[in-house]
Amino acid sequence: MQESNKPRTIFKLELNLVRIGAHVDVEEPGFISDKVLDEAWAMMSDFVIDMLDDLGEEVTDERFREIFIEVCYRIVYREMTMLHYLPVWEQAWKARLGTRERGTGKHNKSPYDDR
């Protein structure tokens, strides 16, 4: 059976953004094939291995997986936060359009940004 004929699994991703008190739902059919997912996993795994090598860390398989999950979680948290904030920022931008107020506004720093 060709991969394009495979039934698609529907995933529901929910994340409670406690810092901002918001709940974000994403409901889309899963369109990422197993092959593409394996490639993404390999890239992320290589990234984590390179990061640990650069830091000179020797970790167990369990610790590696914990770090891998932390990287994935932080990426997901960052993207879910953007799903919440981008519409708010767009509305603020539209409200300022044609006024003397310029710039991106005071509150465009996302709460996930550690810098």
Q: What is the pLDDT of residues 9-33, one digit of tens each?
A: 565 666 666 666 666 666 665 677 7
- Give me the percent of the chain exceeding a pLDDT of 90: 28
Cα distances (angstroms) measured from residue 80 to each of 17, 48, 97, 109: 8, 22, 26, 15
In this model, does residue 61 exceed pLDDT 80?
Answer: yes
pLDDT mean over 92-105: 73
Which of 54, 73, 50, 70 lies closest to 62, judged by CA?
A: 70
Q: What distance in Å separates the CA atoms of residue 105 and residue 98, rounded to the nearest whole number?
A: 15
What integer pLDDT is reported at residue 68 of this predicted model? 93
Domain limits, the chain: 8-96
Q: Calculate the average pLDDT of the chain.
A: 76
